[in-house]
Structure 1
Amino acid sequence: MKRIALLASAAAVLAFGAGVATQVDAWGATGHRTIGVAAVRALSDELPAFLRTPGAAAEVGELSREPDRSRGAGQPHDRERDTAHFVDLDDAGHVMAAAGPTLDQLPVLKSEYDSALLAAGIKVDDAGYLPYAIMDGYQQLARDFAHWRVLNAAEASEADPGKRAWYREDRLRREALILRDIGYLSHFVGDGAQPHHLSIHYNGWDRNTPNPKGFTTSRQTHAMFEGAFTRRSTRLDAVEAAMPAPALDGFDLRARTAAYLTRTHATVTPFYELEKAGGFADSDPRGTAFATERLAAGAAELRDLIILAWRDAGTQSVGWPVIKVAEVEAGGADPWLAMAGED
């Protein structure tokens, strides 16, 4: 059965916890909020002050849910966006099957990825394109930061009151966009920490593949873990305590994305082993530790990508006529035409 159809039907009929229907897609509200809030709360003072506030953390936490909340708008909106939340890898790490690429073999463009899958006889919509959603979100955030850095520097140095007021207004608009775009990036980075979003075994062990260990094939597996279990067993403070230290050296976006998702793919079999051993029963510390570690991995990756996007922004050029961010911040260039527009 196709993944999207399966998730939609499951969301319609399954109920967990206190009889509340839980949508079977990505982390539930608790997981996505936790990842967004924990990441923003972990930002250092290298980042601008507007991001390092309780309000910003709460805003990102709520906006982290938005890619799920936009579902149901109709076609082509839904089909194009639904498949951004996952990439289904087989047990050897190939997209869907041995004919598919591995994560470190992905072409530069999503259109090239789609073509490669079709050439291998793999349906694009069945495979998903989560790596591209993460990379796209990072690049958008870096552009947001690049514009913000120019606007902030220009506002501080501009003598003309009218221009200074425009810079301020545009900076505030950009800050709202930055929070929104961090929320969207948070969602897809969070999806990338959930083992079911990296596997053909996305809702119970795939019944069309060998299952020598007798793992569950229940269609309730996905929602049970990321929704009801995560909601009742994880805490923000425990997730924050479990976040690894920042890893910011030697950054390459494509390699980093592949490595992050590969680490999550390595947790698929351990998840099913733990489920078989009863680790996701109420109050079982093994399941709580697993869910906490996965949320912490997502929050740490998001924290690092925000910092890296900020640094990346300082090397960029923006506007038209094009102007270098570093030159404006150094006081060596007037960005008015580049920012406000020449015509």
Structure 2
Amino acid sequence: MKAPLIAAALLLMPAQALAWGSSGHRMVGESAMQALPGEVPAFLRNAQAVRDVGELSREPDRSKGAGRIHDHNRDAAHFLDLDEDGKILGGPSFLPLPPTRADYEKGLQTAGLDSWKAGYLPYAIIEQHQQLTKDFGYWRVLSYMAAREKDRVRKAWYVRDLARREALILGAIGELSHYVGDGAQPLHVTVHYNGWGEFPNPEGFTRARIHGPFEGDIVFAGVKPADVSSKMTPLKSCDCPIEQRTVDYLGETATQVIPLYRLEKAGGLASGDPRGAAFAAERLAVGASELRDMIVSAWRASPRATVGWPALRVEDVLAGKADPYDSLYGRD
């Protein structure tokens, strides 16, 4: 009896909680990793790391169903419900993005909304980018000390902790990959997330449930990894805070909602129509390009991070101004 009940529950889940299928998320992660420049650590550019990130990119979906509290806390990280005026569920404006999720929540509550209804995708992306920056800071310090430490016991600990940190970095990139990938999917940044719904509809767009077929069936049947990698754009640094980069990225995706619905109206999402696959490949390439760029931006920002407690500046350790062992291992 349990299997039918689980299947029924999945059908009742909000459509926004869905995401690119396994194929789409895997292609975003692997394509981004394969396109990383030589400036990032070499362990990120080997074949195993590429495969690992491809699989870890799917983890926020694979973890669903762990429990009511787990899912309720996390499901809204995958989407942001914007209308055509850039307002969140018809309430507050998306811009400027409040500095914290608590501030975001307060703004939504004044309109009778909350972030579980409206989604908090930008904060999920920003959080993971900040975590990756921190992890890269630790990696810089650990690799530096593992190569220079003279004390045998301390050196051995640095080597072991460096291996732990590399595993954590792959996990952080996988998480970032998932949410950046979601952010490339137009149906993840709109109130029209699964059909146009009961909104003014002057162009007569479909009210059918197009979310799953677009990002699942069309991608699985019609998009190959080479289609994504060939459409990726060159590395782009915005030289701006991650908050600005994230809202610019999601704002660009929002401009693709109407084109997607027009494509559906023209028959482009019908089974076997190459236009749907081409549109999906283009969006996956946008996600892969943005993920690569965010990995690089986190790496470039990491010398300014702090590590350990009491906190030490990464730059100071690398300049030989501080011995980080007690701060990293702990003196308590």
Question: Normalized against structure 1, the TM-score is what?
Answer: 0.91
Q: Secondary structure at the match of 1:33?
A: helix
Match of 2:98 in 1: 107
Is residue 42 of structure 2 the alignment partner of residue 52 of structure 1? Answer: no
Give the Cα separation in 1 of the matches to 2:287 and 2:131: 19
From the superposition, tell whether residues 239 and 224 of structure 1 become closer, same or farther in structure 2 (CA, over 3 Å): same
Alpha-carbon shift at residue 213 of structure 1 (Å)? 1.2
Residue 122 of structure 1 corresponds to 113
Q: For the residues of structure 2 that align with 1:324 and 1:13, how far apart are their CA atoms?
A: 48
Q: State the shift of 1:9 in Å.
A: 5.6
- Could you say which residue in structure 2 is the equivalent of 1:182? 173
1-side partners of 2:188 and 2:16: how far apart? 14
User: Any idea what SS the aligned residue of 1:311 has?
Assistant: helix
Q: Could you tell me how far apart the structure 1 residues matched to 2:9 and 2:293 are?
A: 34
1:339 aligns to 2:328 (yes or no): yes
Q: What's the counterpart of residue 307 of structure 2?
A: 318
Shift of 1:11: 4.2
2:4 paired with 1:40: no
**How far did residue 108 of structure 1 move?**
0.8
> For the residues of structure 2 that align with 1:24 and 1:284, how far apart are their CA atoms?
26
Identify if the C-alpha distance between structure 1 residues 12 and 249 changes in structure 2 by more than 3 Å, giving closer, same or farther. Answer: closer
Q: Distance in 1 between matches of 2:64 and 2:174?
A: 16
Deviation digits for residues 23-53 of structure 1, max 9, x if unmatched? 9701000000000000111111111111101
Residue 122 (structure 1) shift: 2.1
Q: 2:128 aligns with which of 134, 137, 143?
A: 137
SS at match of 1:115: helix
Structure-2 separation of matches of 1:55 and 1:267: 34
1:12 equivalent to 2:11? Answer yes
Q: 5+ residue gaps in structure 2?
A: 1-6
List runs of 5+ in structure 1 lacking aligned partners: 1-7, 15-21
Instruction: Confirm whether residue 84 of structure 1 aligns to residue 77 of structure 2.
Output: yes
Letter in 2 for 1:40: M
What letter corresponds to residue 172 of structure 1 in structure 2? A
C-alpha contact 1:204 1:222 (8 A) present in aligned 2: yes
Per-residue Cα deviation, 1:146-175 (whole angstroms, up to 9, x for no partner): 111100000011111111110000000000
1:211 matched to 2:211? The reply is: no
Helix, strand or coil: the match of 2:236? coil
Change (3 A) 1:9 1:197: farther
Superposition RMSD in Å? 1.8
Q: Which amino acid aligns with 1:111?
A: A
- Report the TM-score, using the length of structure 2 for normalisation: 0.94
Q: Deviations over 1:203-245 (max 9, x none)?
A: 0112x211121111112x0000000101111111121110111
Match of 2:265 among 276, 281, 287: 276
Aligned to 2:218: 229
Aligned to 2:3: none
Deviation at 1:322, TM superposition (A): 2.2
Asked if the contact 2:235/2:293 (under 8 Å) is kept, the reply is yes
Give 2:239's aligned residue.
250
Q: Deviations over 1:167-212 (max 9, x none)?
A: 0000000000000111011000000000110000000112x21112
Matched, 1:193 2:184: yes
